[in-house]
Amino acid sequence: MSGEIEAAGRPVAGRRELTYAVLLCLAGAGLALWAATRTWSVELAARPAPLPPVRDAHTGAGLLPWLPALALVGLAGGGAVLATRGRLRRLLGGLLAVLGLAVTAGGGYGLSASFPGEVSRHWPALCLLGGLLAAAGGMLTALRGERWPAMGARYERPARKTATPAAPAAGAGPVTGRRTTEAWDALDRGEDPTVS
């Protein structure tokens, strides 16, 4: 009895872990991407009077151009966790963990670097936090992803059959019942059911 309860609980726990990992990856990468597009420093260049100084704003993407690119790859990878399975999913999780750590390093660099002008440190801190969240989701996927449920077989293309079903005789009337499903199956295989 306890074995049945344990077996029934395993898929639920796997789906829950899968959900947590995907949410961590997506939320972390999304937060990092958003923080990287905010203004990290503002530089004021003086001009002769009576002209006001020129305000030159630098975003995280302008200062570290690779940072939003890594966050975008992290977003795509977070969605790809759902479409993969087995070892490929674990490999993807390892890649997402490395990407998250790279984004974390970019946020840490933004916190410690001396950019020109007045520097805002909360955007790099949010970028660092997003990288940590994405890395945690990737690590969870790398460690436990092989046991999680995969998408159903209905999303996979069926193997192509070599023999084709016989076409109905000309003038046999409308295609109904079983022949209708055979026509749809032929379309799924990429064949034209109207050609005899």
* CATH number for the domain that contains residue 30: 1.20.120
Average pLDDT, the chain: 81
Give, as one character, the DSSP assignment of residue 53. P
Quick check: is 174 in a domain?
Answer: yes
The reply to whether 142 and 169 lie within a common domain is no
The reply to whether 110 and 175 lie within a common domain is no
C-alpha distance from residue 4 to each of 7, 9, 18, 130, 137 (Å): 5, 8, 22, 39, 30
The reply to whether 169 and 117 lie within a common domain is no
Quick check: is 195 in a domain?
Answer: no
Quick check: is 74 in a domain?
Answer: yes
Cα distance between residue 164 and residue 176, in whole Å: 18
Quick check: is 71 in a domain?
Answer: yes
For 111-176, where are the E strands, in sequence order? 118-119
The reply to whether 128 and 170 lie within a common domain is no
Q: Of 91-95, 115-119, 152-156, where does mean pLDDT reach its minimum?
A: 152-156
Cα distance between residue 157 and residue 151, in whole Å: 13
Model pLDDT, residue 1: 44
Domain that holds residue 179: 159-188
Q: Of 27-41, 94-108, 137-151, where does mean pLDDT reach its minimum?
A: 137-151
**Which one is predicted more confidently, 177 or 116?**
116
The reply to whether 169 and 77 lie within a common domain is no
Model pLDDT, residue 163: 55
Q: Is the peptide bond before 149 cis (omega within 30 degrees of 0)?
A: no
The reply to whether 92 and 114 lie within a common domain is yes
The percent of residues above 90 in pLDDT, for the chain, comes to: 40
Residues 6+ positions from 160 with CB-CB distance below 8 Å: 189, 190
* CB 67, CB 113: distance < 8 Å: no
